[in-house]
Structure 1
Amino acid sequence: MATDTSLADHIAQCVIDSYRALPKRGKPTSKGPGKEEWTVLAGFVIEDTRPTTSERFTCIALGTGLKCLHSEQLRLFGDAVHDSHAEIVARRALVVYLMNQLQLSVATTPCETPVIFSLQPGSTKYRFGGDGQLQLHLYTSQCPCGDATVESLKTAEDSDSNEQPQLKRRRVNNGVIRGHQDFGSLGTLRLKPGRADSIPTLSMSCSDKIARWNAVGVQGSLLAQLIDPIYLSSVVVGDLYNWQSIDRAINQRVTSALLDKQLPDGYRSNRCTIEQTTVVFERSQTAMKNSTASSSNDEVVTADSSIYWYSGATSSVALVNGQRQGAKIRRGECQTRKLWPDICKLALFHKYRELFPQSPEVSTYRQEKDQATEYQAAKACLLESSEFRSWVQCPKEYESFDVAGRAQPVAKDEGDDERYSKGTSSFGKRHTKTHSLCKRCGNRAFHNQKKTCASCGYPAAKIRSFNWAVKAKRRKTTGTGRMRYLKTVNVRFKNGFREGTRKAATPAAKTN
């Protein structure tokens, strides 16, 4: 359990101070009369224990956010950030920072900036903090969504209803469910977003992704070809802290999954320390509710935008719907390079190729990731376990783009399932197939030869089909035409999902 409170507070304060020094663009603010925005802040901190260092704690990357793109908004070109939750945005910013540091390490000319990588004798890969005196910490102002928060959310829900919490401590290892669904299922994979009235996504919860980092590292598959895995030393949490839940979600599940697995050299089942901080992030949900408690007219709402920053960047960057704030979405083609978020897949792929050119046989982002054979083997060991076998992976359709952002065709036997190999890009393309809605994970999915959901493996006999066809004569994909279209589409959800008329068009839309 957490013992070093001062260490946790130093880490949290380091991230919050770095956040406060950033411009206001993209940060939560007042959203009209009586409405205040809140968000989640996450950041990575390097602790340098060398006696010659001047700064013990340094924030190297941070991010804020609460949003993610649902399956209808995904882009084929890699130029959008699909998951904009704070922990994920911060991790992607960390990858950019690591690439910059690696560039300094391999430079032939000496530089005055201290680097964090060193090449070990007899090894072809660089190692983070080669002398063992650098540690990496993760701070998050709120407990990561997913399995780590279910008990805290259940307790808060029962407290609001003046009922005693009654948690059924049972494990469900053979499926994936929504974040706020079935609070009694502990140790279960969960999808974002948590709300039952929202459209399901293909993004796993932050608890699940942090757990994966404990198996394969935070560096990602691209950098795994050049550096040894980088593991977290600790996770510092602010609101909704529950040590048992967090430890189960990010430590115990991984330990159990990899207990009898033979991992590649350098990979291990990491167990990070979990600590709580008393430092308050001023724009957290709890802080904003406390500050507005005196006024009955004030409402606390989630922020629509997110920001990311990494050490060495000239400024922070704001994101809205996975794109740079203010960027106009280009339908059917990739954004111009200056509009790419630094942390999107395409930008990371392009930066990696500029630093380390590869053979012409490797043409797409997916193929480049597959070159990290040891990383992929360690990941396979995790996902083959009973605890993680229902992991919903990003379909290859959305990772088959080249370094210029051109979507490449995916062979039928390479695609994840027919719904993606014959799908279209997001934002306005017409769907003419009849899809199926899985009652377990909520994703639209065709069924493979085993007659199961292509995403989570749920039996096809328990899945009802519905038509998701878009009317060809609608005038626009946005604005008035889109509003009228949304009023005409009826989508029924069961098992905790939204039922009745889809009413995203206007607040005045009637419910059937």
Structure 2
Amino acid sequence: MVNADEIANLCYERFEQLPRKGKPEPGREWTLLAAVVKTTRCLRSDTVKHEVVSLGTGTKCIGQTHMSPKGDALNDSHAEVIARRGCIRYLIQELHRAVSAGTSTVFCPADHQGKWRLQPGVSFIFFTSHTPCGDASIIPMTDCGSQLCPPVSCVKGHKLTKEGGGLKRKAKEPVEAPNSKVPHLNEQELSEMGHSNETPAKTAFQDSAQLVVDKRGSNGSAGLHQQVPDIHRTGAKCVPGGPPDPLHPGMGYHSTGVLRVKPGRGEPTLSLSCSDKLAHWTVLGFQGALLSHYLQDGLYFSVIVVGKCPYREEVMQRALVTRCSHVSDLPAGFSVSPPLLVQSSLEFPFSLAQTILHHRAGQGRISPCGAAISWCNVTEQPLDVTANGYKHGVTKKDIGTAKARSLLCKLELFHSFLSLVSATDHSKLPSSLRGRKLQTYWDYKQASQSYQQAWQQLHSQAFPLWPRSNRDLLLFHSSPSLVKCLQL
């Protein structure tokens, strides 16, 4: 049985050990944390070792007009995505060790030529300090004192307007309880934060508030005031073509079980919500198309641990498992692999709720931390700190150069993968990489045929509205030196 607090504490300790660069300012900035934990079970002694192999923080995405056709920008910097991409770096290193010397603690040879599988007893756990943005964060407020919407009433100076079927109060500030420490965060600011972790701030002032609907009789006299139960909300927006959010008061505000894209700051993004991506990984694995060339089976998280936050297991089950549970006819090596879902009682010290709690007068506006941190257990450059899709601290003149690139961007991961290919003896290459003229990132992804077949089954059966990446953003090449090496 997995000890959720042990996993959470391990991840928080790993974060504490990182350098100060990129971390939030205590009491003023907040962020999210996610991590991948390798579990190694000794089959003879039945002992278990847990090791953080990748960790990420972040809450932001870049807008679609800032996406680069060179693959050198990091589009999605939410913690869950950062942690998974850092894990890809770790897996590439372990495959490099396997093909070069057969010394990997993660992989061993599989049945098919050029293919590898996990060592016996090795599995992976995914940790996130907060429920993933999107569907998994649409949680009913059932706890005492936090189940009601903010006040909505017809009083002098406040006008009720109807937008999309919902009521919106035109007010300067949210209602606060006496002696409340809640900062003045309006609905737009919360949405722009771009992640499910906006909800603790809402809860903070919902704790002392009620949604009051003024029911008037036929003669216009005031009737009874009704309290309407509410839900925790997400800033992620429904994808075009699907059912929109009704935006009704309380429980009717959101549609559930639908695909969503993350909000940007003033500009739409093309990044699917973390709930959608985690659901995706329960069928396709988290290894991606490129590493599927080398792996006989998809890699799946055995457990997902969530830190202390608003949480409902049945909502997580709906968002991450149920939506894909019916998918069938997957190619060999892929399966519907639902993880065990558990919650820890330990809260991340830099969560929004903790930041609000420790905020002091004079610190300025509470805001999400602008930087994203990646750490992974690799030999070279384990730490990568980014902001706005590029290395933290680079100037505009550096954009477009290697100096500005995150080690997690598509181009850098492509370089790492091609280095793995060049290090593999030609006679031991997977069949999907032999005898083919592959040049672009798109070519290598499409050549992973089993992965693409699984992708088609998942999307046709569960996620038909999932937007495909613009092909023009995937046609970049690797460096000339690597191309030359691969052609030898």
TM-score by length of 1: 0.69
Compared with structure 1, are the counterparts of its residues 156 and 266 closer, same or farther at alpha carbon in structure 2 (3 Å cutoff)? farther
Q: For 2:135, what is the secondary structure of its paired residue?
A: coil
**Residue type of the alignment partner of 2:475:** S
For residue 144 of structure 1, the aligned residue among 132, 139, 142 is 132
Say if 1:330 and 1:252 are closer, same or farther in 2 by CA, change over 3 A. Answer: farther
1:82, 1:322 within 8 Å by CA — same for their partners in 2? yes
Q: Distance in 1 between matches of 2:471 and 2:245?
A: 23
Q: CA deviation at 1:298?
A: 6.1
Equivalences for 1:309-328 in 2 at 5 Å? 309-313=375-379, 314-328=381-395
Which residue of 287, 300, 309 maps to 1:219?
287
Q: 1:105 to 1:398 in 2, by over 3 A?
A: same
SS at match of 1:245: helix
Question: In the alignment, is residue 16 of structure 1 matched against residue 6 of structure 2?
Answer: no
Following the alignment from structure 2 to structure 1, what is the Cα–Cα distance between the partners of residues 98 and 117? 11
Query: 8 Å contact 1:177–1:190 — kept in the other structure?
Result: no
- Alignment-derived partner of residue 268 in structure 2: 200
Residues 122 and 201 (structure 1 numbering): CA distance in 2 closer, same or farther, change over 3 Å? closer
**Cα contact 2:135–2:256 (8 A) shared by 1:** yes
Partner in structure 1 of residue 317 of structure 2: 247
Supply the distance in 2 between the matched residues of 1:179 and 1:360 (Cα, whole angstroms): 50
Structure 2 counterpart of 1:118: 108
Q: Which letter maps to 2:318? A: R
Q: Residue 47 of structure 1: which of 28, 36, 39 is its match?
A: 39
Letter matched to residue 310 of structure 1: C
Q: Is the 8 A contact 1:179 1:191 kept in 2?
A: no
User: CA 1:123 to 1:363, structure 2 compared with 1: closer, same or farther past 3 Å?
Assistant: closer
Distance 1:178 1:284, change over 3 A: farther
**Pairing 1:80-479 to 2, within 5 Å after superposition:** 80-108=73-101, 111=103, 114-122=104-112, 124-129=114-119, 131=120, 133-151=121-139, 157=149, 160=206, 161-163=209-211, 164-165=228-229, 175=242, 183-193=253-263, 198-227=266-295, 228-238=297-307, 239-256=309-326, 258=327, 261-292=328-359, 299-313=365-379, 314-329=381-396, 334-336=400-402, 338-357=403-422, 361-385=437-461, 387-404=462-479
Runs of at least 5 residues in structure 2 that lack an aligned partner in the other structure: 151-202, 212-227, 232-237, 423-432, 481-488
Quick one: which amino acid aligns to residue 97 of structure 1? Y
Q: CA deviation at 1:123?
A: 5.3
| In 2: Cα distance, 1:106 partner to 1:162 partner | 62
| Mapped partners of 2:279, 2:321: distance in 1 | 7
Deviation at 1:279, TM superposition (A): 1.6
Do the aligned residues in 1 keep the contact of 2:140 with 2:230 (CA within 8 Å)? Answer: no
Which structure has the highest helix share of the two? 2
CA gap 1:308/1:172 in 2 versus in 1, 3 angstroms: closer
2:72–2:410: 8 Å Cα contact kept in structure 1?
A: yes
Q: Partners of 1:124 and 1:16 in 2: how far apart? A: 37
Is the CA contact (8 Å cut-off) linking 2:139 and 2:310 kept in structure 1?
A: no
- TM-score of the aligned structures, taking structure 2 as reference length: 0.72
**8 Å contact 2:289–2:448 — kept in the other structure?**
yes
Distance 1:399 1:122, change over 3 A: closer
Shift of 1:315: 4.4
Among the aligned pairs, what percent are the same residue?
Answer: 29
Q: Give the aligned residue type for 1:391.
A: W
- Whose radius of gyration is greater, 1 or 2? 2
How many residue pairs align between the two structures? 382
CA positional deviation for 1:176: 6.9
Contact 1:76 1:399 survives alignment (8 Å) = yes
Pick closer, same or farther for the CA change 1:202–1:126 going to 2, 3 Å: same
Shift of 1:320: 0.5
Q: CA deviation at 1:278?
A: 1.0
- Residues 362, 297 of structure 1: CA spacing in aligned structure 2 closer, same or farther, 3 A cutoff? closer
CA-atom RMSD in angstroms: 3.0
